[in-house]
Amino acid sequence: MLSNDGPEIDGIRISKVKSVTDTRGTFIKFHPLIELENSLNSVALSFNPNVGTIRGLHFQVAPFAEEKLLTCVQGSIFDVAVDLRRNSKTFGKWASIELSATNALQIYLPKGVAHGFQTLMPDSIIHYSLTSTYTPQSSYAINPFGDLGIDWPIKQYSISDRDRDGISLSSAMQKYAESLKI
């Protein structure tokens, strides 16, 4: 498992989001320009009304490979990262962490790390800062039930056809490597 003590996937960083709470509510401030190594390209929100929703495991190949900085700003998710980088000491491994509005953790994922999650609470909202534009011809999904052996915590789930029918881990690693001409 990933933890505050240090992630198991090479290059992933976990930090606490700065927030202030008072009688009016909570104010959260993000610093993607400090956290991301490349230029911020876009910010996205994922709204997930149902418990058990699985999104991912997504990645983009070069030249549209992207860094991601994400936080669960409402609800809770079981977050998964998969290392597709051949030069990494954690190549082919996956790790998970719970991200929630309560624990206020933020995770940085470098290029070459696929990402997905399952919602643990209704109405979970995930905030993304990304370094590349979504490019369909460079975007792939890894089958989250395939050869990775991920034990998704909620057995009653909803998932898109694209994600359920995703490619194998070995195909994903090959596509990422080919995009880098390795």
- What pLDDT, in 10s, does the model give residues 48-96? 999 999 999 999 999 999 999 999 999 999 999 999 999 999 999 999 9
Task: Phi first, then psi: give them for residue 149, nearest 5 degrees.
Answer: 75, 30
Distance CA 123, CA 37 (A): 31
Domain residue spans of the chain: 13-180
pLDDT (tens digit per residue) in 86-140: 999 999 999 999 999 999 999 999 999 999 999 999 999 999 999 999 999 999 9
Q: Which CATH code fits 13-180?
A: 2.60.120.10
Distance CA 151, CA 75 (A): 20
- Catalogue the active-site residues: 58, 128
Determine the pLDDT at residue 3: 45
